Amino acid sequence: MLLCSGDSEHVNATFDLMVWAPIATITSRKDSCQLTDLAHSKSESLPGSPLVNLQTALDRYFPQQPQDTEHPFYAGALGHFGYDLGRRFERLPNHAKDDYSTPAMAVGLYSKAIIRYKQSGAYYLVGYQQSDLDCAGEWEARAQQQTQPLSPFRLTSAWQSNMQKSDYLQRFAQVKDYLTAGDCYQVNLAQRFESRYQGDEYDAFLRLHQVNNAPFSAFIRLPESSILSVSPERFLQVEQGKVETKPIKGTRRHHHHHDKDSAEIADLRASQKDRAENLMIVDLLRNDLSKTCLPGSVQVPSLFAVETFPAVHHLVSTVTGQLAPPNTGLNLLQGAFPGGSITGAPKVRAMEIIDELEPHRRNIYCGSIGYVAHHGHMDTNICIRTLLCEQQKVYCWAGGGVVIDSVGDNEYQETLDKVNKILPVLEQGCE
């Protein structure tokens, strides 16, 4: 598993984190959760919340705290928390088709990692105890070896959406009916693109990351699938008990032309619709953070900032808080999951409508990828601009928040703008 900020100039792009050879794994499928101890080749089913089980496992495998906290990670958990993990925390309908083999949650427990710091270019091998650092010689030897070239990733069919434009506009109209009836203030509606492929998924990730250069990118290789994320959005970060989330709402196309982009940014800043949409999610996240943060500590230090990425300009706000003991980052994650910026508000009703109107479940899309260190640090992304590869099929999603004054054609075009640095990149070499 690799968490990668690459060469992004984004303020949050500070380091890369790579892990391998987990000592245990925890997966969640439907109503079951399984812990597999790889060192002792045994597995057990665990009742209750997958995130509570993950915290219990962290405490069991890593009871000792590090001597210092110079690095964000020494040992702990890293993996993905799919959107449909939210079904373990809320009662939701089952209309959308679930045609995936990838678990709703797949997390490894790791006793060592490699960290690359962007500013200095330095690499650090870190670990839970001294014996975990004995692999340094092995890595030096690997660095001297010539690696085998990756098998080129190539699509073997054209991208197909699970919604034609007419289907999208019909579902858009149904969302507007729900908004008019007062069911919701905002609903995120997404379409799924699908293609067949051959070759190495990591080759696809490298190509996508080069073009998108996103600060919250990730590559995960699981037994049954691979996940490729070039996400621009942070979900939840915890450092020494301080919480930060940075919801994105509001999008304009990035033309890479000074005058056109200046006009797009000015329009985005002035848009009452986008500001209102962003504020709805800020309020939702303030409420979500308040479940586990100290009373009065939840603040909004930045509202409606414009951040520019290779494909789009986004309206980004920042919400902060201070965890209330004895809450942990995983308590925070469960209380806020999935992220409000990709559901709508109120969250549960929006998720019900999403399940009704989207033909397929989301799996990893709009879930989170990140790490939970044994000394309390945590950082996770929102899995937008994220692809799932399994059974020689690749899936990619794009969506947007629909509010009462949204225009269907504009919202549909926005979904295409969000993947215009993804789908065409992988089409190169398509048979």
Which residues are known catalytic residues?
A: 233, 249
Contact 390, 364 (CB under 8 A): no
Distance CA 274, CA 287 (A): 20
Contact 245, 289 (CB under 8 A): yes
Amino acid identity, position 293: C
Q: By three-state DSSP, how is residue 2 classified?
A: strand
CB neighbour burial string for 344-378, b if at least 16 within 10 angstroms, e if fewer: bbbbebbbbbbbebbebbbbbbbbbbbbbbbbbbb
Other Cβ atoms closer than 10 A to 135: 16
Between CA 220 and CA 231, with CA 226 as vertex, the angle to 5 degrees is: 60
113 Cβ neighbours under 8 A, 6+ residues apart: 17, 18, 19, 73, 74, 75, 78, 125, 126, 127
142 Cβ neighbours under 8 A, 6+ residues apart: none
Other Cβ atoms closer than 10 A to 418: 24
Q: State the distance between the two ends of the chain, measured CA to CA, in whole angstroms.
A: 30
The residue among 431, 366, 231 whose CA lies nearest residue 311 is: 231
Tokens of 329: 């980052």
* Sequence-ordered strand ranges (E) for 82-199: 105-110, 112-117, 123-127, 154-155, 160-161, 186-198
156 Cβ neighbours under 8 A, 6+ residues apart: 195, 196, 197, 198, 430, 431
Distance CA 295, CA 317 (A): 21
Amino acid identity, position 301: P
Q: Are β-strands 312-322 and 32-37 bridged in parallel, bridged antiparallel, or unpaired? A: unpaired
Distance CA 79, CA 17 (A): 12
**Phi, psi for residue 270 in degrees, rounded to 5:** -90, -10
Tokens of 256: 């890479």
